[in-house]
Amino acid sequence: MAQFYKSICVIFLIFFVSMTHAQDDPGFSGRAGLGFLATSGNSDTQSLNGNLDMWLNFDSWRHAVNAQAIKSKTSGTTTSEAIGWSWQSDYTINETDYIFGITAIDKDEFSTYDQQTRIAFGYGRRVIDRERHVLNAEVGFGSRQADLRNKTSQDGAILRWSGDYRWIISDVSEFNQTLSIEGGADNVFLESSSALSTNVRENLALVTSFAIKSNSDVLPGSKKTDTFTAISLEYTF
């Protein structure tokens, strides 16, 4: 039944989908989302997810902050608990090119990596800049410090490739896709997020999202890839 409701929501979004893209506007803007799903029967499951995005743009600078969290329980036992945070600052060189710096931290109670901290710098370019389609691509280098669940740690240099795509489907709907790959000698970390949003009222949107987090090197008994599917309400400001 839960899958049925998810399918209905996806169909609804495809036909009605738009969100404001205030992250490109000068000044301060943001959005905050919260989702909750509970099922009962043969097993009792509760899932809570939240996210916060904020942008500050002025002159040649763009700053973006992202925070996200998820927690799931099945029959009273916690099965997933993860939080992430990042800050990126861009300095615009011209209409298409910019340089960036990013700091990101991920904590996951059920992953091989209890915590990963990354700092990277590099070059970005707006590859597509049209009325309804925007694509940015970035390449950079930096360092990563990771604490593993077996109490060991990994420190080393990384190369970072990333991109983000935005499709303004209509006046009330928007599709967003982000992808980042960070490769080092010990591990390659991949993170992808897809989100489909539609305004249901002024400043309020319904969002269906799907995220993937994957590590190439994990401890025995751990899975390399985690996926997260969520439906949430999001408020823009």
**Would you list the domain boundaries of the chain?**
2-236
The sign of the CA dihedral 208, 213, 219, 221 is positive
The 8 Å CB, 24+ separation contacts for 133-136 are 133/165, 133/166, 133/167, 133/168, 134/21, 134/165, 134/166, 135/163, 135/164, 135/165, 135/166, 136/163, 136/164, 136/165
Segment 205-219 shows an average pLDDT of 92
The secondary structure of 48-88, three-state, reads EEEEEEEEEEECCEEEEEEEEEEEEEECCEEEEEEEEEEEE
Alpha-carbon distance of 39 to 33, in angstroms, equals 21
Query: Nearest CA to 116 among 3, 217, 236?
Result: 217
The pLDDT score that the predictor gives to residue 78 is 87
pLDDT band at 44 (very low <50, low <70, confident <90, very high): confident
Q: What is the pLDDT of residues 136-166, one digit of tens each?
A: 999 999 999 999 989 899 999 999 999 999 9
* Average per-residue pLDDT for the chain: 87
- Tokens read off for 173: 């709907």
Q: What is the pLDDT of residues 72-131, one digit of tens each?
A: 888 888 888 899 999 999 999 999 999 999 999 999 888 888 999 999 999 999 999 999
* Cα→Cα distances 35→82, 145, 193, Å: 15, 31, 16
The pTM of this model reads 0.82
Superfamily of 2-236 according to CATH? monomeric porin ompg (2.40.160.40)
